[in-house]
């Protein structure tokens, strides 16, 4: 399960950003996840809940995942199409000369901190 390693990486990144900004608690992390990234969101969420609970910065923090749709470009006809629906063969010209434009990436979009007044309670 590589999702746990991914969660550890996200947590380290969030901890670094929090330290740079004098943040002591995080409420939410929004992650953009490509549709064909190979990451299983339910596993990611389970790993997040377990790992975040063991930190000082993230207990109770929510991981919100936004899906980036997979889009493929055809080199033959130049058109783009939905990767998951049609695969590697262009549905417009039936050529296999295609490449993925987006949909395999994963990036932290937003980190929401707990306000100082809220963190004290």
Is pLDDT of 10 > 80?
A: yes
Judged against a pLDDT cut of 70, whether residue 121 lies above it is answered with no
Whether pTM exceeds 0.95: no
Whether pLDDT at 117 is above 90: no
Torsion on CA atoms 108, 13, 50, 5, rounded to nearest 10: 90
Report the top-level CATH class of 3-114.
alpha beta
Q: What residues contact residue 24 under an 8 Å CB cut-off, 6+ apart? A: 18, 57, 114, 116, 119
Place 115 in a pLDDT band, splitting at 50, 70 and 90: confident
For the chain, which residues make up each domain, given as ranges? Answer: 3-114
pLDDT digits (tens, 9 = 90+) for 59-85: 999 999 999 999 999 999 999 999 999
How confident is the model over 11-54, as pLDDT tens digits?
999 999 999 999 999 999 999 999 999 999 999 999 999 999 99
SS3 readout for 68-109 = ECCEEEECCCCCEEEHHHHCCCCCCCCCCCEEEEECCCEEEE
């Amino acid at each position: 399960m590589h999702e746990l390693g991914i969660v550890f990486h996200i947590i380290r990144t969030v901890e670094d950003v929090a330290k740079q900004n004098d943040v002591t608690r995080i409420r939410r992390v929004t992650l953009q996840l490509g549709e064909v990234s190979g990451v299983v969101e339910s596993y990611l969420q389970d790993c997040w809940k377990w790992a975040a609970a063991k930190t000082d910065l993230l207990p109770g923090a929510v991981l919100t995942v936004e899906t980036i749709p997979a889009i493929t470009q055809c080199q033959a006809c130049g058109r783009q199409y939905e990767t998951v629906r049609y695969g590697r063969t262009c549905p417009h010209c039936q050529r296999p000369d295609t490449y993925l434009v987006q949909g395999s990436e994963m990036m932290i979009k937003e980190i929401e901190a707990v306000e100082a007044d809220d963190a004290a309670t």
